[in-house]
Amino acid sequence: MLKIKDNVDLKELEKFGFEHRYGKCYEYIRELNGRNAYRIYTTKTHANIQIEVFEPMVIAQKMQDVLYDLIQAGLVEKVSED
């Protein structure tokens, strides 16, 4: 599983096109069109990457590009799934 590193200021995601939204937790979202989105849900203790895709062939390349950019910037780490 991928997650945002604990020491990352979540405002850094705005540089990658994510928007800060409030609710039960913080939500950074990048919508590609009306039906597809990448979402990062956060709480005070963790930030997991959750991807919602309704038309996978339409956004597969864009999704890879965004994840690659986040990894290259050192914002993402891989954690084991228990």
Pair 25, 43: CB distance under 8 Å: yes
**For residue 80, is it within any domain?**
no
The structure's pTM equals: 0.69
**Dihedral sign from CA coordinates of 78, 1, 50, 65:** positive
**For residue 46, is it within any domain?**
yes
**For residue 82, is it within any domain?**
no
Query: Strand pairing of 47-52 and 36-42?
Result: antiparallel
Q: Rounded to an integer, what distance in angstroms lies between the CA atom of residue 43 and that of residue 57?
A: 31
**For residue 81, is it within any domain?**
no
**For residue 18, is it within any domain?**
yes
Structural domain containing residue 15: 2-74
Q: How far is CA 55 from CA 36, 38, 60, 64, 75, in A?
A: 7, 12, 9, 14, 26
**For residue 50, is it within any domain?**
yes
Per-residue pLDDT of the chain (82 residues; tens, 9 = 90+): 788 888 888 888 888 887 777 665 677 777 766 666 677 777 656 667 777 666 666 667 777 788 889 899 999 888 876 6
